[in-house]
Amino acid sequence: MELTGLSIIGMQRSTTGGRIFTATNPANGAPLPGEFHSASPADVENAAQLATKAFTSYAQWSGKRRAALLEHIAQFLESHTATIVKRANLETALPIARLEGELARTCFQLRLQGESAANGLFAGARIDHAQPGRTPIPKPDLRSMMRPIGPVAVFGASNFPLAFSVAGGDTAAALAAGCPVIVKAHPAHPGTSEIVGRVIQEAMHECDAPEGLFSLLFDVGYNVGASLVQHHLIKAVAFTGSRRGGRALMHLATVREEAIPVFAEMSSVNPVFIFRGALAHKADEIANGLQASVSLGVGQFCTNPGLVFIESCKGAARLIDKLKELIAASPAGTMLSPDIYATYQQTVDKFSQITGVRLLAVGKQVSGQASSAMFAADIATFLDNRNLMDEVFGPSTLLIECNSRKELLATAEQLEGQLTATIHATPDELSELRSFVEVLSTKAGRLLFGGFPTGVEVAHAMTHGGPYPATSDGRSTSVGTRAAERFLRPITYQNFPDAALPQELQEANPLKILRLTDGAWKIS
């Protein structure tokens, strides 16, 4: 596929004229083929107008028809696997096998959201029958269901060039919900974005989708993103990236006249709490798992475990010794971009200079590549330095040895919002930790007993979200089928004739979906 570098506006391509940029191979710093043209204000306007027009028809598509569209996108992506993965590897330095896995995950997400739309999972149908004879006033017939919110602006993330980018989780969720999507491509993988965008465009064409249901805009700067968030026709925003980026979008949304929801998934250090009982028998196993989780993908995961609290004991010493060995032996790796690498280096240097913070181990060093790093601090140092809670994007972790269980429990209260929190303990210990678990549940969207937080399963029961700064709205998730709920709102139809109601609410329940009827769950 020949790259054109042009934005995709519905079934058209943009014209040239905007600021031109190229992609860089992070493995060698060389520019990659393809010149990309930043979209113009007219392109943004066209995309928004087309999306709005597309919305009026797409919102009425049945769940089954949306599922067929998402299935087509998945199949078309699969048939372009080699092309997509090859370019993504050049643009991100992520290994081919990882990218193949990520493409499979992307297709799985599209299908799961599509099937869920087809099965009526998102309908949330409710019926309260009329009581015409009720006194003092009759009760009307009320029927409600979840309907799509409108065009959604999606911002591609740098660290998942497929699963959290052009055809990623946000796009799948929005399309399944019934919303048009305008993607702002991440400028670090524009070629991958164009290929995936064109594949989506083909699938849309194949399925007779209304023009403008999908657009993809390039920009090397911030204008296109800012215009999208502030455009009056955009009704929701989905973003995965840094705290700074997320806050900027949140701010832009507050100064527009019409308030809209901004779902930004931003920053998490994913604390791991390791108790004495777990250390007694599993110190080596935990050390192995932790090192693997810290180093996975050169630490470029939002669920990377950046903070580890350890209950002081013999096992703790063994764990730390083992970890030192493992981290020291960890290979260096190329990060997603030179900027990300530079920021990682700076943060590691900053950590090293904080009084009370000790660098326990550094991984193998290769020029231009990120080395794993492991720091330690005592609890007083940790509590005195709030910035030790800031996310470090890269293969680094900070160990805090706690002198008592009480000290360890006290740290939980101090945490900011997180995507995940992990507990290593015996089941007996866990049963003594009820109030600790309760506190953690107010801090994180996902609690793990054992294991490590990297590896986010795509499932109905997944929550990939958490209180600020993990996300801008701790009531949301960006992974799993609940992700579609971000783009839905309830609508009530009062005293409508049956024939004028959406099928989901018609008396005979033609779609055979679950409904809350007069307060009871029914499928017939």
Residues 114-133 that bind a second copy (CB under 8 A): 119, 121, 126-128
- Alpha helix locations (H) across 41-168? 41-58, 63-79, 81-92, 96-118
The contact mask relative to a second copy for 140-169 (x = CB under 8 A, - = no) is: x-xxx--x-xx-------------------
From the list 17, 27, 28, 139, which residue makes contact with a second copy (rule: CB under 8 A)?
139
Residue with Cβ nearer a second copy (17 or 455): 455
How far is the C-alpha of 154 from the C-alpha of 37, rounded, in Å?
19
- Among 2-10, 279-287, 370-378, 488-496, the segment contacting a second copy (CB under 8 A): 488-496
Q: How far is the CB of 37 from a second copy (least distance, A)?
A: 33
**If binding is defined by CB under 8 A, does position 508 make contact with a second copy?**
no
The residue behind tokens 């007083």 is: 380
Q: How far is the CB of 258 from a second copy (least distance, A)?
A: 5
Is 207 in the active site?
Answer: no
Residues 6 or more apart whose CB falls under 8 angstroms from that of 100 comprise 81, 85
From the list 21, 36, 55, 351, which residue makes contact with a second copy (rule: CB under 8 A)?
55
Q: Which of 67, 339, 69 is nearest to 186 (CA)?
A: 339
**If binding is defined by CB under 8 A, does position 87 make contact with a second copy?**
no
Q: Which of the residues 389 through 408 are near a second copy (CB under 8 A)?
A: none
Q: Which of the residues 260 through 319 are near a second copy (CB under 8 A)?
A: 260-261
- Among 85-93, 192-200, 324-332, 471-479, the segment contacting a second copy (CB under 8 A): 471-479
The contact mask relative to a second copy for 187-216 (x = CB under 8 A, - = no) is: ------------------------------
**If binding is defined by CB under 8 A, does position 53 make contact with a second copy?**
no
How far is the C-alpha of 110 from the C-alpha of 172, rounded, in Å?
5
From the list 94, 332, 462, 484, which residue makes contact with a second copy (rule: CB under 8 A)?
462
**If binding is defined by CB under 8 A, does position 507 make contact with a second copy?**
no
From the list 317, 473, 503, 506, which residue makes contact with a second copy (rule: CB under 8 A)?
473
The contact mask relative to a second copy for 97-116 (x = CB under 8 A, - = no) is: ----x---------------
From the list 222, 475, 507, 512, which residue makes contact with a second copy (rule: CB under 8 A)?
475
Q: 486, 263 in Cβ contact below 8 A?
A: yes
Pairing of strands 396-402, 307-311: parallel
Residue with Cβ nearer a second copy (5 or 178): 178
- Among 67-75, 328-336, 346-354, 439-447, the segment contacting a second copy (CB under 8 A): 439-447
Q: Give the three-state DSSP class for 159.
A: coil
**If binding is defined by CB under 8 A, does position 350 make contact with a second copy?**
no
**If binding is defined by CB under 8 A, does position 232 make contact with a second copy?**
no
Query: Which residue among 71, 91, 102, 265 is the active-site one?
Result: 265
Query: Which residue among 179, 302, 407, 485 is the active-site one?
Result: 302
**If binding is defined by CB under 8 A, does position 499 make contact with a second copy?**
yes
From the list 86, 318, 364, 489, which residue makes contact with a second copy (rule: CB under 8 A)?
489
How far is the C-alpha of 266 from the C-alpha of 269, rounded, in Å?
11
Residue with Cβ nearer a second copy (87 or 276): 276
Report the interhelical angle of 63-79 vs 81-92 (nearest 10°).
70
Q: What is the DSSP string of 234-283?
A: --EEEEES-HHHHHHHHHHHHTSSS---EEEE------EEE-HHHHHHHH
Q: How far is the CB of 416 from a second copy (least distance, A)?
A: 8
Q: What is the DSSP string of 477-522?
A: -SSSGGGGGGGEEEEEEES--GGGS-GGGSTT-TT---EEETTEEE
DSSP 394: S
Q: Which of 216, 198, 192 is nearest to 25 (CA)?
A: 192
Looking at this protein, which amino acid is placed at residue 160?
A: F
Q: Which of the residues 407 through 426 are near a second copy (CB under 8 A)?
A: 416-417
**If binding is defined by CB under 8 A, does position 446 make contact with a second copy?**
yes
How far is the C-alpha of 43 from the C-alpha of 7, rounded, in Å?
8
Provide the token pair at 234. Answer: 């955009």
Q: Which of the residues 22 through 51 are near a second copy (CB under 8 A)?
A: none
Residue with Cβ nearer a second copy (18 or 180): 180
Q: How far is the CB of 175 from a second copy (least distance, A)?
A: 17
List strands edge to edge, sheet with 236-240.
12-13, 8-9, 214-217, 181-184, 152-155, 236-240, 262-265
How far is the C-alpha of 274 from the C-alpha of 262, rounded, in Å?
35
Pairing of strands 520-522, 515-517: antiparallel
**If binding is defined by CB under 8 A, does position 222 make contact with a second copy?**
no
How far is the C-alpha of 238 from the C-alpha of 184, rounded, in Å?
10
Q: How far is the CB of 122 from a second copy (least distance, A)?
A: 12
Q: How far is the CB of 221 from a second copy (least distance, A)?
A: 24
How far is the C-alpha of 95 from the C-alpha of 422, rounded, in Å?
27
The residue behind tokens 């009056």 is: 232
Count residues contacting a second copy (CB under 8 A)? Answer: 83
Around Cβ 104, how many Cβ atoms within 10 Å? Answer: 16
Is 313 in the active site?
Answer: no
Residues catalogued as catalytic: 265, 302
